[in-house]
Amino acid sequence: MDLDHDEYMELLKAQTLLLSRRKLNVSSEVSDFVGKGCLKRWQNDIWPIACQTCGKPQGDEAFISADGLFDDDKILLSLHHGKCRGSKTTPRHEITMRIPTWAASIESRGEGEDAVPLMVVNPSCEQLMIQRPAIGRSRNVTLDIFTAIGFKSSTGTVPDLVDTMEARLDGNRLTVALTAKLSGETSISAQSFTLTVSDGVRHAAQHSPFLMVAMTTKMLPLQLVELAPVFEDEDPEVVSALVPFRR
């Protein structure tokens, strides 16, 4: 698939619209706790894949819960079945939840020996950590655990190399895993991501010294979407890094 950036954005929008037909239930308790504007701003960054109470598929209807405050000004949003949890709030530290589902896509860019594999990961589909300061705008801080280990907001240029993650290729299975300890709210992200890759990506992974990795919560990385544009724009909602291969 060969798309320019405008076509890519249109496709992404179409995919997002498709997913946004899901029914999200929000109680007034949750809405009052989070704040209407804040909830509206961020509820499109959570994706109903698996219920965070029972772990089974979410289906068409999801219920948003809000927990906190954590660190005085952070709120954890999460999705559940109505029968498992409903749209509720709980005081901080009184929750147990599953590790959220992650979604990732991988492709290669460039030709022959110069090909580089690119991977886009949403590390936390059904949970989102929001910071709501007393003054100023709310912020999605879900990816702060990755900026703490060297990922940086995308600037549209080649990202920095990190030594806190590594990539491994085993046949046509590619794994990216943390080698550093995450600080803070580690429960809201998996720490290892494995995908089965195409022959083209495998070839690139065998030759490239590193894998380009971008993390974001604003999309479900879908095979249908070309990944390269994610690395080409300055985007505060995407953090990226070069991850070395371990041979």
Q: Which is nearer to Zn ion, 53 or 87 (CB)?
A: 53
Q: Which is nearer to Zn ion, 50 or 115 (CB)?
A: 50
Closest contact distance (angstroms) between CB of 80 and Zn ion is 6
Site size toward Zn ion, by CB under 5 A? 5
177 is a contact residue toward Zn ion (CB under 5 A): no
Closest contact distance (angstroms) between CB of 55 and Zn ion is 7
Among candidates 221, 243, 186, which has minimal Cα distance to 102? 221
Instruction: Specify the stretch interacting with Zn ion by CB under 5 A; choose among 53-61, 179-187, 193-201, 202-210.
Output: 53-61
Residue of the chain from 26, 42, 48, 53 that contacts Zn ion (CB under 5 A): 53
Q: Which of residues 54-73 bind Zn ion (CB under 5 A)?
A: 54
Q: Is the preceding peptide bond at 182 cis, omega within 30 degrees of 0?
A: no
Q: Which is nearer to Zn ion, 22 or 109 (CB)?
A: 22
What residues make contact with Zn ion under the rule CB under 5 A? Answer: 51, 53-54, 81, 84
